[in-house]
Amino acid sequence: MMVVDTKTKRCLYLQLVCLLLSTLKGEGFYMGITYVQNAVAKGAVCLDGSPPAYHLDKGFGTGINNWLVQIEGGGWCNNVTTCLVRKNTRLGSSKQMVKQLAFSGILHKEETFNPDFYNWNRVKVRYCDGSSFTGDVEAVNPATNLHFRGARIWTAVIEDLLEKGMKTAKNALLSGCSAGGLTSILHCDGFRALLPTTTKVKCLSDAGYFINAKDVSGVEHIRAYYNDVITTHAQSKYVFLSTIFGTKYPDATFYTQCSLRFMAGLILNHELSLEFYIHTFMQLIIYCCN
């Protein structure tokens, strides 16, 4: 069982306070959910087999041809047991997602609170596969009915957004927080490739810089964890970096200090010093890919 020390608990508490205070600065507004129903026929479904989903607020004025796509975070599931736990939550089923989602911060529609992106087309992609949109397992075990189809979800959602007008975007920003931040890194080049060559594309990872390091007890917990994620979701079939790192270091794809070396796109990184996974699992001792 993982033990979180007092210092870490205090840090997490302060992070929660900061988040609550930031919410008070500008209360968000609510946007309805869009289910990508045609994705089901392609096998692009959440852990429980339900269709993927997102929330969209269309741009206006000078931002009508600009797009901000933000990926929801929520960690990962690394085996059948943990994925079954997620299966009946919003992180594993669109049936459990709220129909109206608050748009605040970088998604806010008021210039006062979001001067850079308030009039862009702003999208919140819901996270329901547990693999940062990288897994693809064809077979479904009838005993669990778990679907590991993150890569297909990614393709289906982006294709749907392209048809909604993103294919003519002048500017496009792919962003995400935590596991969503990792998604924005791993899919940055692929995202750029789907847009016109004239589109200016950038990717923003918020608290998505995960490193290969020992946890606070000196154990390589995170490495074993990521190896399990990769095995469970069969990510090696999809993530191109697996062909670079090979079978010896399949987990290296998830470590940003490794994967960033092979990304062509412009990636901006913002790291919270209090990010949960970093404080819980790691010390700042980087020894991979050096």
Least confidently predicted of 45-59, 117-131, 214-228, 254-268: 254-268
The answer to whether position 34 is within a domain reads yes
pLDDT(273) > 60? no
Q: What is the pLDDT of residues 207-219, one digit of tens each?
A: 766 677 777 788 8
Amino acid identity of residue 56, one-letter, is L
The answer to whether position 251 is within a domain reads yes
pLDDT(137) > 70? yes
Task: Answer yes or no: pTM beyond 0.85.
Answer: no
The answer to whether position 202 is within a domain reads yes
Give the chain's domain count.
1
Q: What is the pLDDT of residues 48-95, one digit of tens each?
A: 999 999 999 999 999 999 999 999 999 999 999 999 999 999 999 999
Amino acid identity of residue 228, one-letter, is D
Partnered with residue 203 across adjacent β-strands are 174, 267
The answer to whether position 195 is within a domain reads yes
Q: What is the pLDDT of residue 283?
A: 37
pLDDT(279) > 60? no
Least confidently predicted of 18-22, 56-60, 71-75, 281-285: 281-285
The structure tokens listed for 233 are 């979701």
Range of the domain at 90: 6-281
Distances (CA, A) of 76 to 57, 83, 111, 115: 27, 8, 34, 32
The answer to whether position 289 is within a domain reads no
The answer to whether position 73 is within a domain reads yes
Closest by CA position to 72, among listed 30, 107, 23: 107
- 287 touches 216 (CB < 8 A): no
The structure tokens listed for 189 are 């080049």
The structure tokens listed for 75 are 């960690």
- What is the dihedral sign for C-alpha 35, 39, 44, 50? positive
The answer to whether position 168 is within a domain reads yes
DSSP state at residue 289? T
The answer to whether position 59 is within a domain reads yes
The structure tokens listed for 173 are 């920003």
Least confidently predicted of 129-138, 142-151, 214-223, 267-276: 267-276
Rounded CA-CA distance 279/223 in Å is 15
